[in-house]
Chains A and B, each alone.
Chain A
Amino acid sequence: MIELHGIGKTFRKGREEVRAVAGVDLEIAPHSIVALIGPSGCGKSTLLNMIAGLYQPSEGQILYQGTHVADVNTNVGYMTQKDNLLPWRTVLDNVALPLELAGCPQPKRYEAARAMIRQVGLDGFEDKYSGELSGGMRKRACLARMLLYEPQALLLDEPFAALDAQLRIAMHDLLLRLWAANKQTILLVTHDLVEAITLADRVIVFSRRPARVTHEQLVDLPRPRDVAQVRFTGRFHEIYNAIWEKLREEYVEEKL
Chain B
Amino acid sequence: MTASQTVTPKRSERAQPRATRKPLGDMGQPAMLGLQVLFGIALLVVWELSAGRLVDKFMISSPTDVVTRLWGWIASGTIYVHIWATIYATVIGFVIGAIAGVVGGLWLGLSPFLSRLLDPYIWAFNALPKVALAPLFILWFGLGINSKIALAAVLVVFLVFVNTFAGVREVDPDLVDSLRLMRAKRRQILTKVVLPSATSWIFVGLKTAVPYALIGTIIGEMIAANRGLGYLVQRSGAEFDTAGVFAALVVIAVLAVIFNEMVGRVQDRIQGWKVVSR
Contacts and interface: CB of A to CB of B under 8 A. Distances in A.
A177 interface: no
Name the prevailing secondary structure of the B interface residues. Answer: helix
A89 B192 CA distance: 10
B182 A86 contact: no
Nearest to B174: A84
A88 B194 CA distance: 12
Interface string B176-211: 011111111100100011001101000000000000
A97 interface: yes
B196 A88 contact: yes
A88 B178 contact: no
Contacts of A76: 181
Interface in B251-278: 271, 273-274, 276-278
B175 interface: yes
B188 A86 contact: no
Contact of B181 (A73, A102, A132): A73
A98 interface: yes
A135 B178 CA distance: 18
A97 B192 contact: yes
Nearest to B199: A88
Contacts of B271: 88
A74 B273 contact: no
Nearest to B189: A101
Contacts of B172: 84
A80 interface: yes
Given A76-B181, A84-B174, A131 B192 contact: no
A188 to B, nearest CB: 17
Interface string A60-81: 0000000000001110111010
A52 B182 CA distance: 11
Contact of B183 (A78, A82, A149): A149
B193 A86 contact: yes
Most buried by B among A88, A100, A132: A88
Contact of A78 (B181, B184, B196, B276): B181
Contacts, number: 65
A18 interface: no
A110 interface: no
A80 B174 CA distance: 9
B181 A129 contact: no
Contacts of A102: 183
A82 B179 CA distance: 14
A86 B276 contact: no
Given A86-B192, A86-B196, A98-B183, A131 B177 contact: no
Contact of A131 (B178, B197, B276): B276
A134 to B, nearest CB: 13
Given A131-B276, A132-B276, A74 B177 contact: no
Contacts of B179: 97, 101
A129 B199 CA distance: 17
B266 to A, nearest CB: 15
B181 A97 contact: no
Interface of B: 172, 174-175, 177-185, 188, 192-193, 196-197, 199, 271, 273-274, 276-278
**Top 8 closest A-B pairs, CB basis?**
A131-B277, A84-B178, A98-B182, A88-B273, A74-B183, A72-B180, A129-B273, A101-B184
9 contacts: A73-B181, A74-B180, A74-B181, A77-B181, A84-B172, A88-B197, A97-B182, A97-B192, A149-B183
Given A74-B180, A131-B278, 17 more contacts: A54-B181, A72-B177, A73-B181, A76-B181, A84-B172, A84-B174, A84-B175, A86-B193, A88-B273, A89-B273, A97-B179, A98-B183, A129-B273, A131-B273, A131-B277, A132-B277, A149-B182
